Amino acid sequence: MTPVSSFYRVEHETRYVYEAAVSTSQHVAYLRPRELPRQRVVWHDVTVEPGPAEWSRRVDYFGNAVDQFTVLKPHTVLSVRGRSLVERLDTVSTLDPELSPAWEDVRDALRFRKGAPAAEALQFAFPSPYIALDPGFHEFALASFPPRRPLLEAAIDLMNRIHAAFRFDPTATIITTPVSRVLAERRGVCQDFAHLQISCMRAMGLSARYVSGYLLTDPPPGRPRLVGADASHAWLSVHCPHHGWVDLDPTNKLVPDLRHVTVAWGRDYGDVSPLWGVILGGASHTLRVGVSVIPLGPAEWERARAGG
């Protein structure tokens, strides 16, 4: 079967404007998409203004690409811009959730044995800074996990329930809002819904990890696509024997497809925040983030590849 590809230019700009001058700052950025069997990064670049005095690139514990830089020049504005050309490849495979093993069998297999297939997944079965295992998460998840139900069928059902019961509300939470509050108030954003389902999966004794990336969105009918109008996105992956890691997007009630671009994954948001750092000075600040996910046709793609 001939693979189907989608091509994207991704631009992600973060701009801080400080009330007072920042004398020095150190930052860590997760902006380069991952190389995956179904995702290829043809070109990537990060630019910083003012220019850093020191810059290094590395791969973190989870295999994510990381840029780390230090700005020593006093500044009142910091701009960090990541740009990528990404090919998303679809092998047109079919996911059969009902053929996945019973969730109890997967849970019971998560026992540490050196070299065992579940050993890598086990690290994503425990609490982490943004993920709690309060009894409320277990109680909420139970309706999706009756005895002997196939794991992926149960996980997709849980995803659908979160989408139906929770309201997308960008004013309801901030980065430090506990996921228990999200569960209680039934509202939040994509990051919150990913954390919520991960908390539920781990409360059931299963492995799930946090995924950061981008999602191609469509402009309103008859309206042009606006530069910078998109946003970073987040979803989760559930570990299932014989299927590997299976992505689920509770914000949009779907299994991620060609419209999703994966940047990084970790235990939770804190492992893969797009940009964070430490500054000296600055006082208060304003922040603007602009993201564009621009689909390219074959001819546009070839021109973009040639021009970088």
DSSP assignment of 258-286 equals TTEEEEEEESSHHHH-SEEEEEEE--SEE
pLDDT of res. 4:
75
**Boundaries of domain holding 77:** 4-90+272-307
Q: Tell whether 163 and 298 lie within a shared domain.
A: no
pLDDT of res. 115:
55
Q: Tell whether 160 and 102 lie within a shared domain.
A: yes
Q: Tell whether 62 and 151 lie within a shared domain.
A: no
Q: Tell whether 223 and 263 lie within a shared domain.
A: yes
Residue 243 or 159, more confident? 159
Residue 109 or 78, more confident? 78
Q: Tell whether 185 and 54 lie within a shared domain.
A: no
Q: Tell whether 249 and 115 lie within a shared domain.
A: yes
Question: Is the pLDDT at 269 greater than 90, yes or no?
Answer: yes
- In this prediction, residues 187-208 reach a mean pLDDT of 97
Q: Tell whether 202 and 69 lie within a shared domain.
A: no
- Rg of the chain over Cα atoms, rounded to whole angstroms, equals 20
pLDDT of res. 239:
96
Pairing mode, strands 187-188 and 244-248: unpaired
- Which residues contact residue 308 at a Cβ distance below 8 angstroms, ignoring those fewer than 6 apart? 43, 45
Residue 187: CATH number of its domain:
3.10.620.30
This prediction has a pTM of 0.92
Question: Is the pLDDT at 35 greater than 70, yes or no?
Answer: yes
Domains in the chain: how many in total?
2
CB neighbourhood size of 218 (10 A) = 9
Q: Tell whether 298 and 173 lie within a shared domain.
A: no
Q: Tell whether 262 and 287 lie within a shared domain.
A: no
Q: Tell whether 263 and 140 lie within a shared domain.
A: yes
Question: Is the pLDDT at 206 greater than 60, yes or no?
Answer: yes
Instruction: Dump pLDDT digits (tens) for 150-191.
Output: 999 999 999 999 999 999 999 999 989 999 999 999 999 999
How confident is the prediction for the chain on average, in pLDDT? 91
Q: Tell whether 114 and 227 lie within a shared domain.
A: yes
pLDDT of res. 120:
83
Percent of the chain's residues with pLDDT above 90? 78
pLDDT of res. 283:
82
Query: Using the 8-state DSSP alphabet, how is residue 97 labeled?
Result: G
Q: Tell whether 192 and 103 lie within a shared domain.
A: yes
pLDDT of res. 112:
58
Closest-CA residue to 9 (of 44, 37, 35): 44
Cα gap 249→195, rounded to integer Å: 11
Q: Which amino acid is at 220?
A: P
